[in-house]
Structures are given as structure tokens and as C-alpha cells.
């Protein structure tokens, strides 16, 4: 491997810093090739176990929920890996799901999803799992950022709108 020059190193560092500063650090959506926005959705110091926080991502028409669980979760962030976020739209027919007692529940046909296991459906009519957000935790500030989505948000052919 060829050694990297000081100039190349600085150019790479500048590009990374620009991506972070301008909110461009999100994952690339495989369907569109577009980059997900990196959006601050909360601060871990303000979260309480079992108390959900609503937000929207990647745009204002996509409701989501951030929650700190009482257990480690797949895809969880924070020191205990227990902070997760999911789309709030049920993958069955798009009804809102709500967090209660360690699970997400759909009020239309009572599908239930396990937030500690990637949003796995364990009861009801939904045949797909709840779409899980990819999070990043900045341990210095406590900020939590959404930077992508695993799975498709209900009703979309792509999570990122094609302009
Ligand atoms: S819309 Fe959620 S289970 Fe049918």
C-alpha cells in the first residue's frame, strides 16, 4: 500500500469534516443511491427508560419513535446499547404503532413488534418487521443522530423521495 501524503490526509479529513458539518454523514440508500440525512433526534441524557419520543425521519411525512429500552437491543446505541428508533407506521396497512411495555403495538389489527430484536413481528397480521432506524450516538455530547433506515417505510417504494 502506497504511503499517504500529508496533503491527501488533510483533503480526506476536510471531506469527512464537511460531511459531518453539513449533515451528510448518513448511509447511502441502496434503492436510490442517495445519501440519508444525518439528523439529531434527541440526547441520551434526556431519555427515560420506557418513555417514547416522537420525531420524523427522513422527512416530515415519516413519523418515527425513539425509545430507551430496559435491555440491550440489536442496533441499539449508547453505553448500554438500549436506545433504538423505529418507523411509527405499521408494515401491514400503515396504521400508527405506539410503544408500550417493551413493545410496539398497532391499534388497527394488533400486530406487535419487538424493539430489542430489530422490530421483529411476533404477533398479528404484519408479515414484515417494523423499519428500524440506524442511529449514531456521540458520547461526548450525548446527542443521538438518525442516519439511515433498515427496511422500507410503509407505503413507499423508496425511503428517500426521488426528486
Ligand atoms: S395495520 Fe397494523 S396490523 Fe394491520
20-50: per-residue pLDDT in tens? 444 457 899 888 889 999 999 999 999 999 9
Q: Which pLDDT score is estimated for 3?
A: 52
How far is residue 8's CA from residue 70's CA, in Å, rounded to a whole number? Answer: 45
Between 9-18, 26-35, 130-139, 152-161, the lowest mean confidence (pLDDT) is in 9-18
pLDDT of residue 20: 47
Residue to substitute in 86, 91, 93, 113 for testing ligand 1 pocket (most ligand atoms within 8 angstroms of CB): 93
Indicate if the pLDDT at residue 4 is higher than 70.
no
Catalytic residue list contains 137: no
Quickly list DSSP for 79-131: TTT-EEEEESB-TTT--BEEEETTEEEETTT--EEETTTTTEEEESS--SPPP
Q: Which atom of ligand 1 lies at the shortest distance from residue 106's CA?
A: 2
Residue 134 reports pLDDT greater than 80 = yes
How far apart are alpha carbons 104 and 87 in whole angstroms? 10
Indicate the pTM of the whole model. 0.85
Name the class of domain 27-150: mainly beta
77 to 10, 143, 147: CA distances (angstroms): 30, 11, 12
Plot region of 23 (φ>0 → left; ψ -120 to 50 → alpha; else → beta): left
Amino acid at each position: 500500500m502506497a504511503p499517504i501524503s500529508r496533503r491527501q490526509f488533510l483533503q480526506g479529513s476536510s471531506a469527512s469534516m464537511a460531511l459531518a458539518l453539513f449533515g451528510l454523514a448518513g448511509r447511502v440508500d441502496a434503492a436510490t443511491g442517495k445519501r440519508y440525512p444525518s439528523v439529531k433526534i434527541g440526547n441520551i441524557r434526556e431519555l427515560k427508560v420506557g418513555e417514547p419520543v416522537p420525531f420524523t425521519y427522513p422527512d416530515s411525512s415519516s413519523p418515527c419513535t425513539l425509545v430507551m429500552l430496559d435491555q440491550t437491543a440489536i442496533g441499539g446505541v449508547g453505553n448500554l446499547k438500549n436506545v433504538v428508533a423505529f418507523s411509527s407506521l405499521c408494515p401491514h396497512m400503515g396504521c400508527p404503532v405506539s410503544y408500550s411495555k417493551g413493545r410496539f403495538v398497532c391499534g388497527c389489527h394488533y400486530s406487535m413488534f419487538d424493539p430489542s430484536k430489530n422490530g421483529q413481528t411476533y404477533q398479528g397480521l404484519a408479515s414484515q418487521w417494523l423499519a428500524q432506524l440506524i442511529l449514531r450516538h456521540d458520547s461526548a455530547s450525548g446527542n443521538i443522530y438518525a442516519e439511515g433506515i433498515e427496511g422500507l417505510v410503509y407505503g413507499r417504494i423508496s425511503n428517500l423521495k426521488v426528486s
